[in-house]
Amino acid sequence: MGVRIEERLLEVRAGIAAACAAAGRATTEVKLVAVSKKHPPERIREAYAAGQRDFGENYAQELRDKARALSDLPEIRWHFIGRIQSNKARYIVPLAIRVHAVDSVSHAQALAKRAREAPVPCLVEVNLSLEATKAGATEAEALTLCEALHGIEGIDLKGLMTMPPYVHDPEVVAPLFARLAHLAAEGRRRGLPLHELSMGMTVDYPVAIRHGATWVRIGTAIFGPREG
C-alpha cells in the first residue's frame, strides 16, 4: 500500500494556496493537474473521491485505457502532457481537455484532423534549457510556431508549457519560468491568445506559481514514486 492520496492532495493544495498568497495571486488562478502516469486507475479513483478532477497522462494508449476504466466518473477531465505521436492523435483528441506539449506544426495538424465538435485546446512546449534530450520549440522559434498553430482551424491555442531539467534547488530553474512568462506576454502583445502557462512539478511548483503558472502538473507529491 502506498501513500494516503487524500492527505497528499490536501498538502499539495495547501502548498499551492501558500505559493499563491506569497505571490499576491488568487488561488483560483492556479489549477492542479494530478499527473497519474504509471499509476493504476484505482489511485485516480481515490484522488477523484478526494475532490480532484484534472488528471494528466503522458502516453496515448494509457490515457485511452484509463479513460475507459474510469468512464463512470462524470466530472473527470483528462490532460495529455506527453510527447505527441501523430498516429496516436485519435486516442488523445476525443479525451483531452488540454494537450500541453505541442511542439511542431505537423503534430498540430494531426490533432486538428481529428477535431470534431470543437477545436483542440493546445499549449506549445518550449525548451528553455536547450537540453538536446528534451522536446519543445526553442525560445527563438516558439512564437512563430504559435502563430502557425493559431492559423490552423482545428486548433484552439491556449498558452505555453515548459519542463525544466530536474534540479535539487528549484531556484536554479526560476529564470526559466520567468522567461516562459515573458515569452507569453510578448506573444499576447503580438495578438496571440497565450493566457495559460503550464509549468511547475513536484519539486518546483511554488517557484513556478511565483512566476505566473496557471496549470501546475504534479505527480509524485500526490501519488508517490512511480515504478519503472
Ligand X SMILES: *Cc1c(COP(=O)(O)O)cnc(C)c1O
Chain contacts with ligand X (rule: CB under 6 A): 35, 37, 58, 81, 163, 201-202, 217-220
**Closest approach of ligand X to the CB of residue 167, in Å:** 12
* The pairing of beta strand 77-80 with beta strand 120-125: unpaired
- The Cα 90–Cα 109 span in angstroms is 12
Chain residue at closest Cβ approach to ligand X: 219
**Closest approach of ligand X to the CB of residue 100, in Å:** 7
Reading the block at residue 193, the C-alpha cell is 491568445
Q: Do 171 and 207 contact (CB within 8 A), yes or no?
A: yes
Nearer to ligand X, 180 or 201 (CB): 201
- CA 210 → CA 125, 135, 173, 175, 188, distances in Å? 20, 24, 12, 11, 20
**Closest approach of ligand X to the CB of residue 190, in Å:** 26
- The Cα 15–Cα 3 span in angstroms is 17
Nearer to ligand X, 112 or 201 (CB): 201
Q: Which residues of 138-160 are buried (b: 16+ CB within 10 A; e: fewer)?
A: ebeebbebbebbbebebbbbbbb
- The Cα 224–Cα 1 span in angstroms is 11
Q: Do 176 and 162 contact (CB within 8 A), yes or no?
A: yes
Q: Do 123 and 100 contact (CB within 8 A), yes or no?
A: yes
**Closest approach of ligand X to the CB of residue 202, in Å:** 3
**Closest approach of ligand X to the CB of residue 209, in Å:** 14
Helix (H/G/I), strand (E/B), else coil: 127: coil
Nearer to ligand X, 109 or 202 (CB): 202
**Closest approach of ligand X to the CB of residue 162, in Å:** 9
CA atoms within 13 A of residue 96's CA, in its CB half-sphere: 37
Nearer to ligand X, 102 or 201 (CB): 201
Nearer to ligand X, 92 or 163 (CB): 163
Nearer to ligand X, 3 or 113 (CB): 3
